[in-house]
Amino acid sequence: MTILVTGATGFIGSRVVLNLGKRQIPIVAADLDLDQNKSKLEKKYINLGFDKNLLTFEKLDISNQDNIEDLFSKYSFDSVINLAYGIGTICENNPVLASKINIVGTTYIFEMIVKYKIRRLIFASSETVYGAKQSVFGNRAIKETDYTGINNHHFTYGVMKLLNEYMAEKYIKKYGCSIAYTRPSVVFGYGRQNTAINWAEDFAAKPALGKVVNLPFSKDNTDNWIYVEDCAEQLVRLALKDKLNFSCFNTGSETINGHKLEATVKKFIPNADINFLEEKIHTPLIDDQDDSRIREEINFNPRSFEQGVKSLIEEVREINLN
């Protein structure tokens, strides 16, 4: 059983690779930017004691149909975890390029699932498919069946993710494919790579190194958070489960405000210097998710925000000591 992970050297993708390595599952780790990140991931994989013979790297441009066809014809994949995606800043600044990666590229993956009769495809969507206003849904946790109109959308990224979801449902109904997707909330942890929400690492990573951190929201701002390791665990469990009851899953973990964020960091770093932008009351994200569906589906409860912060601080300090 070989699993293809696209976007394998990225923030979430690298954690998925390590998660599969722990399970001793053969992996093809595919990414466009192997030159910069391959050696770092490979070193960590080997240092953790995983079998290096089970890990193969392939350079992949998801927007290149021939490249994708060559990859799928070369291997016999049991499952695919697709995390190759143009991030939010690319979507806003260069929507044509982003469309080639995020819409055309993802559709190429759907086509390969059908052509090569792949058992399961899992991909990460986003909570941004719900738009940018919690007020649209009222003061409650948002469920997978909730949607909002285009006027409430802030991110081009979210609109593209929503189209991916509709396309996935089309392939499920037309071809009987086994496809599922998650809607992660704010994924925090070490290793973010110049994204629009680097604050989801910096809020604890900078204080861990004795640095000041400036956050782009107020202490009253509320967001739903999930630790990156748990996000990866969810994706892997969905890929490995024999039969899924749903195709769409919220994957948030805990909803907190800036006051609790600050208190949690200071529990581990009492002298943490954290500044908030008080005039900006909210981030352009929803506040709360109902993630009961995925908890029941894969029998897994993500760690608390406090536990995740502790893990993030420990990882940052360990890496900077070595």
* Residue 67 lies inside a defined structural domain of this protein: yes
Task: List pLDDT tens digits, range 7-65.
Answer: 999 999 999 999 999 999 999 999 998 887 899 999 999 999 999 999 999 999 999 99
Domain range enclosing 19: 2-189+225-252+285-302
What are the CB-based long-range contacts (under 8 Å, 24+) for 99-104?
Answer: 99/160, 100/63, 101/62, 101/63, 102/157, 102/160, 102/161, 102/164, 103/160, 103/163, 103/164, 104/63
* Residue 69 lies inside a defined structural domain of this protein: yes
Q: What is the pLDDT of residue 154?
A: 79
How many other C-beta atoms lie within 10 A of the C-beta of residue 284?
Answer: 15
* Residue 92 lies inside a defined structural domain of this protein: yes
165 is written with which tokens?
């979801």
Residue 261, pLDDT > 70, answer yes
* 63, burial (CB in 10 Å: exposed 0-12, middle 13-18, buried 19+): buried
* Residue 208 lies inside a defined structural domain of this protein: no
The number of domains in the chain is 1
What is the DSSP pairing of strand 254-257 with strand 222-227?
antiparallel
* Residue 202 lies inside a defined structural domain of this protein: no
Q: Which of 308, 307, 38 is nearest to 189 (CA)?
A: 308
Residue type, 173: K
Q: What average pLDDT does the chain have?
A: 94
Q: Which of 59, 66, 53 is nearest to 21 (CA)?
A: 53
Q: Are 137 and 96 in contact (CB under 8 A)?
A: no
CATH for 128: 3.40.50.720
How many other C-beta atoms lie within 10 A of the C-beta of residue 46?
Answer: 13
Question: In 33-105, which ranges are continuous DSSP H helix?
Answer: 34-47, 65-74, 88-93, 95-99
Task: List pLDDT tens digits, range 141-190.
Answer: 999 999 888 888 878 999 999 999 999 999 999 999 999 999 999 999 99
Q: Are 252 and 96 in contact (CB under 8 A)?
A: no
Residue 322, pLDDT > 70, answer no
